[in-house]
Amino acid sequence: MTIVIAFHQSGYQNFDTYYIHFVRRYLTNEFPKLVSYMRILKLM
């Protein structure tokens, strides 16, 4: 839920770009058990 809220506050146009290029690259310390992009879509 935190990632989705942060996406809406970011300047990214689509969620896949945000998740793949920002979350997976810069937020792995904050979210050590990140799931794949396809899995997060299913969870949402």
**Stretches in the chain below the pLDDT threshold 70:** none
The CA–CA distances, whole Å, from 4 to 7, 18 equal 5, 10
Alpha-carbon dihedral sign for residues 5, 33, 16, 10: positive
- 8-state DSSP, 19: I
- Amino acid symbol at 7: F
pTM: 0.79
Q: Tell me the pLDDT tens digit for each residue of 12-24.
A: 999 999 999 999 9
Distance CA 24, CA 19 (A): 6
What pLDDT does 19 receive?
95
* Length of the chain as a residue count: 44
The answer to whether 16 and 4 have CB atoms below 8 angstroms apart is no
